[in-house]
Amino acid sequence: MAINLNAEIRKVAGKGAARAVRKTNNIPAVIYGEKKDPIAIELNGREFGMLLKTPYLRTKLFQIKTSKGTEDAMLMDIQYHPVSDAPIHVDFKRINVKEPVNVTVPVEVINVETSRGLKLGGVLNFAVRHVALRGLVNNIPEKIVVDLTDLTIGDVVHGTDLVLPSGVELGLHQAELAFVTIGGKMPDEETNKPAAAAAPAAAPAKK
């Protein structure tokens, strides 16, 4: 679902104008791309600050409404103040919702506690925590989940093993990446066998 965002057109661009916007507690921003002229805008600082609490913002479609119309865009970058950590500038890139986009999304592992391999003493190596995907923006997932339940020692989850939504494919150079491995040595079968039954006591020798 798209995020609706209202913005004001900035009549003057540049560092001085951006500082003036910040003094009103608003945030200067820009919309660029799709072979169109960039548009300098300002966002309501309080509203955008609340929006930052939304997870996975960089995977979502923004519909930014200005006096010039509505722009379909994706969040590309947020600059923060080095001391206060408040957002001081935001970049949006226009997109065509009918054409695929390239997006990087997080990878998450689940069922660590019930994983076969970890129960056997294996070690989880969560090596690659983001994956590049390509697809229509409305099909891009917030994250990709790897279920560890049935993975055992020696198993490797490559890019081609990731479960992707219909219409979404891996980006370049993602297929052979080892995202998750469970390392270690399988337990010795001999040590896991039940102890042999005790031998019957020897009969006493006849006199």
Distance, in Å, from the CA atom of 102 to the CA atom of 76, rounded to the nearest integer, reads 11
For residue 5, give the nearest of 81, 77, 57, 80 by alpha carbon: 57
E strand map for 44-83: 62-66, 69-80
Instruction: Give pLDDT tens digits for 119-169.
Output: 999 999 999 999 999 999 999 999 999 999 999 999 999 999 999 999 999
pLDDT reported for residue 78: 96
pLDDT value at position 198?
Answer: 46
Instruction: With a cut of 60, say whether residue 13 has pLDDT above it.
Output: yes
Q: Tell me the pLDDT of the chain averaged across its residues.
A: 90
As to burial, measured by CB atoms within 10 angstroms (0-12 exposed, 13-18 middle, 19+ buried), residue 21 is: buried
Query: In the prediction, which pLDDT does 143 show?
Result: 96
Q: Is 166 helix (H, G, I), strand (E, B) or coil?
A: coil
Give the count of beta carbons closer than 10 Å to the beta carbon of residue 40: 20
pLDDT score, position 203: 52
Ordered by where they begin, the domains of the chain are 3-94 (2.40.240.10), 101-187 (2.170.120.20)
What is the DSSP secondary structure assignment for residue 52, as one 8-state letter? T
Q: Which of 95, 89, 2, 94 has the alpha carbon at shortest distance from 42?
A: 89
| pLDDT (average), residues 22-47 | 95
Question: Which residues lie closer than 8 Å to 146 by C-beta, 6 or more apart?
Answer: 107, 108, 109, 110, 157, 162, 179, 180
The pLDDT score that the predictor gives to residue 14 is 80
Of residues 82 and 13, the one with the higher pLDDT is 82
* Confidence (pLDDT) at 207: 47
pLDDT confidence of residue 186: 85
Is residue 191 over pLDDT 70? no
